[in-house]
Amino acid sequence: MNSVSQYESTIWSSLIMTVAAAAYFFSKVFGAMAAGAPLDPGQIARLGFAVVVILVAVEVAFQVAMTVWCRRQPQTDERDRLIAAKATRNAYYVLITGLFLLIGHLGVQSLTGWAPVLLLDTPTTVIFLVFALVIAEVAQFVSRILYYRRGL
Amino acid sequence: MITNRIRDLRYAHGQMTQQALAERIGVTRQTINAIEGDKYSPSLEVAFRISAVFEVPLEEVFKFVPAAQIKTS
């Protein structure tokens, strides 16, 4: 008996696509940072925009394919809504942790001139903000899957 | 923890499938599966709907087992 609902399948696909897109984007950006190359904000913005457009297009195509394959929209109920709420709460904790780390780092850097991890200029700060958002989104998908698998 | 007798009641009602029960109370089959496996405690509304389908009182479907009792058993 298939225990994975159509709705849960879409969460798995979103997780895989988000991780793949983020891995591609951040490998390029962090690779350039590690090589000591100066970051070109315009180039990073174009890369990020292209990745988001491709991600959205693939996600929409997958959702349409799933709807056609299953011959109906994914059905949700109170358990799906509770799982979504708890997963969003977990993602919020991850995002807040990331933001506090970034703000703390920026605070130390601006007050003392010393960078605990990495000298954060504006493009680098934006990249780490996006990184925190992506990690929070991944945490949300992983939380959902764990709640579906292990129970609430 | 809340345990239940939904599986037994389904079989007693003409071997009703999880899908059939799910459709009658307006949830997904996966939710019925999670409730039967004690992985999810349903809302009061869903609990009452389940007992209505089987035409038995709520306490014949669901039973509250205190955590201390689970540890000793």
Share the mean pLDDT of chain A.
89
- Phi, psi for residue A151 in degrees, rounded to 5: 95, 165
Contact B39 A151 (CB under 8 A): yes
* Count of A-B CB contacts under 8 Å: 39
Q: Per the structure block, which two tokens stand in for B15?
A: 């071997």
Q: Mean pLDDT, to the nearest integer, of A132-145? A: 96
Element (H, E) at B5: none
Bridge partners of residue B2, in order along the sequence: B64
Question: A79 and A8 in contact (C-beta within 8 Å)?
Answer: no
Query: Which residues of chain A neighbour B28 with C-beta distances below 8 Å?
Result: 5, 7, 75-77, 79-80
Task: Show which residues on chain B lie within 8 Å of chain A, measured between beta carbons.
Answer: 26-31, 33-34, 37-43, 46
Which residues are CB-contacts of A148 (< 8 A; sequence separation ≥ 6)? A4, A8, A11, A83, B30
Question: A71 and A137 in contact (C-beta within 8 Å)?
Answer: no
Query: Helix, strand, coil proportions of chain B in percent (round to 5)?
Result: 60, 10, 30
Look at residue A25 in the predicted model and tell me its pLDDT. Answer: 94
Look at residue A1 in the predicted model and tell me its pLDDT. Answer: 46
Q: Measure B46 CA to nearest chain A CA, in Å.
A: 9
For chain A, percent of residues with pLDDT exceeding 70: 97
Contact A79 B40 (CB under 8 A): yes
User: pTM of the predicted model, to two decimals?
Assistant: 0.84
Bridge partners of residue A120, in order along the sequence: none
Look at residue B1 in the predicted model and tell me its pLDDT. Answer: 84
Indicate whether A54 pLDDT > 80: yes
